[in-house]
Structure 1
């Protein structure tokens, strides 16, 4: 339902922006978007949000309500409106909770299956923590400690190949203290000699766990290419 509310907020923002643009005291800095395409986009995004959140609607009544909203009318009294909105929020939150729990379970099962198959591949080794790795290039430098500060290049992706972060694309190596990163990185990097490049497979409990991030689903296995450039 958060996607739906986000769409509503976007709609309000656009209409407010349009109202400001009509104020002669304010000069528009950019041209107004194409009316037909914008109208379609708002409808498409709202519909997609409702579908994603599994919110069923009566399309005919939705259109009536939409037109009434544009005309500043409401056939429902305030008490009924507030009651329905509360019910809808609760319903959507419950739907989202069930969907998230299902996603967490599915991702955990997929990760376990992936790791079980991956450990059979040539060159793949497993640390005591359960982290798997494959040496791409073996360095001959010292190994960092948890108190070290390191300089690395890296690329992070999900099991399906979706890339969620890359210092290579930014053309800028990352520098950080080991105690400030996820456990999976800590446990892998202290085993890496400087100059090494590894492919590292990190279970969710040593990554972002069940909480995930905006671009990493809950209970996701993380796959990193990590190049340890320097120990500070």
Structure 2
């Protein structure tokens, strides 16, 4: 068991897609040993699907069988280490190319969106490229860059995908104005307590070419609806 899990851990940093469909001969009438073996393999594959995609699964199973039988491997430890290192580099290169291609797509889509949005009624464009639209004027005090504010917000992509929402959670958040992305930080300075504003944030004022996790891709233009509840 420990040897199998060690192999899985070693492969967990690898990813390159493509599964080949297979026809199983295992069924409810198979022996307990067969059913248990299949179940264990299935669970390992399901929990490590991304790491296993693109690998030669027959060779993977052969490696498992060789190790579990305490037999000598077909490759030396150095050869295996070299193969894994090279495979990882190839996977990372493919991921980088895909990342760059997506960044270019997002940048073009964002630029087109902002150009059109700038023409919309009530939209203000600042010198930095930030755009905003006041939905409700506030009457309280405004924050400065060192202020801590309490807000309700919803963040989404230009295709409407919501990536975060304190409104949906029904739980306002507190944070320092200077601690958020520069576009939102700049935008908050235009608000007063009780106000609601929609901000359109170019990627250079958001998460840039890196993006943020799986939810926000590289060069993504962001839209934030913000209600400034209180300046603390």
| Bucket of the pairwise TM-score, normalised by the shorter protein | 0.7 to 0.9
Aligned partner of 1:170 in structure 2 is 169
The answer to whether residue 213 in structure 2 is matched with residue 218 in structure 1 is: no
Q: Please name the residue that 1:68 is paired with.
A: 66
Alpha-carbon deviation of 1:59? 4.2
TM-score (norm 2): 0.74
**Residues 179 and 152 of structure 1: is their aligned pair in 2 closer, same or farther, counting only changes over 3 Å?**
same
Partner of 1:229: 229
| Paired residue secondary structure (2:151) | strand
TM-score (norm 1): 0.74
Against the structure 1 CA distance between its residues 120 and 37, is the aligned structure 2 distance closer, same or farther, given a 3 Å change threshold?
Answer: farther
Count the aligned residue pairs. 201
Give the unaligned 5+ runs of structure 2.
1-6, 13-34
1:86 is matched with 85
Distance 1:39 1:162 in 2: 36
Task: For residue 148 of structure 1, report the CA deviation from its aligned partner.
Answer: 2.4
Sort the Cα spacing of 1:11 and 1:129 in 2 relative to 1 into closer, same or farther, 3 A: closer
Distance change in 2, residues 1:158/1:140 (3 Å): same
Structure 2 CA distance for partners of 1:182 and 1:47, relative to 1, 3 Å: closer
Cα 1:69–1:163 change in 2 (3 A) is farther
Aligned to 2:207: 208
SS in 1 for 2:228: strand
Q: Secondary structure at the match of 2:154?
A: strand
SS of equivalent to 1:146: coil
1:124 Cα offset (Å): 2.5
Per-residue displacement from partner, 1:30-74 (whole Å, max 9, x unpaired)? xxxx966664343245444454xxxx4444334433443444543
Query: 2:124 aligns to what?
Result: 125
